[in-house]
Chains A and B, each alone.
Chain A
Amino acid sequence: SQTIHQWPATLVQPVGSPLSLECTVEGTSNPNLYWYRQAAGRGLQLLFYSVGIGQISSEVPQNLSASRPQDRQFILSSKKLLLSDSGFYLCACHQGGYEQYFGPGTRLTVT
């Protein structure tokens, strides 16, 4: 089965600082990869998804970006964080079948 790794697990960053969250996937190849964000007490918001290396689709215009430099690596970045970027960031993968697997998440607090 597929395993998703995310790091770091928690992160506290000041407003205006850069961000880099990494996600790697094991146990599969050529998966669809996703970044979701969840604000406290809210549902999951799809931020980006990727169907292959270098292919990124953005769902929400914002100061975040994503990249997929390798088949099983997905990176979420920002040049300058905003307070509103605080939340729980989840990486997920989905491949052909109908079950989506999620990573453990990164809790980001922007101060």
Chain B
Amino acid sequence: LAKTTQPISMDSYEGQEVNITCSHNNIATNDYITWYQQFPSQGPRFIIQGYKTKVTNEVASLFIPADRKSSTLSLPRVSLSDTAVYYCLPTFSGGYNKLIFGAGTRLAVHP
């Protein structure tokens, strides 16, 4: 089962680009990598998902190298409202049907 490692916390300033890297050394061949965002007193919400190379949507970009042992979530030009906890999650992180969240990365965006 894939175990993920992320920085516990990060600080940034409004307008900067933020990159959060997650390592998942023993990711399975059929695993996708999904990133979630969680605000206080809310459930996590889906941000982006990818399998390999680069995926971009209106919110973020996700970079996954060829060896798939890590992934990087890129948030362009963050604002105060991006202050949240970000979780990296292999699809089958806990085995099929079980989704296990790690501790996540607490991002604080400052004015």
Contacts and interface: CB of A to CB of B under 8 A. Distances in A.
Interface of A: 32, 34, 36, 42-44, 46, 49, 51, 57, 59, 88, 90, 92, 94, 98-105, 107
Interface of B: 32, 34, 36, 41-46, 49, 87, 91, 94, 97-104
Q: Secondary structure at chain B's binding surface: helix, strand, loop or mixed?
A: loop
17 contacts: A34-B99, A42-B103, A43-B102, A46-B98, A49-B97, A51-B97, A57-B97, A88-B41, A92-B99, A94-B97, A94-B99, A98-B34, A100-B36, A100-B44, A101-B46, A102-B45, A105-B43
A104 B43 contact: yes
A44 B32 contact: no
Contacts of A104: 42-43
A98 B99 CA distance: 10
A57 B98 CA distance: 10
Contact of B44 (A44, A51, A59): A44
A102 B99 contact: no
A98 B33 CA distance: 9
Contacts of B32: 98
A101 to B, nearest CB: 8
Contacts of A36: 101
B43 A49 contact: no
A44 B49 CA distance: 19
Contacts of B99: 34, 46, 92, 94, 100
B47 to A, nearest CB: 10
Contacts of B94: 46
B97 A103 contact: no
Contact of A43 (B45, B49, B97, B101): B101
Contacts of B44: 44, 100, 102
A43 B27 CA distance: 21
A102 B99 CA distance: 12
Nearest to A32: B97
Nearest to B32: A98
A104 B87 CA distance: 18
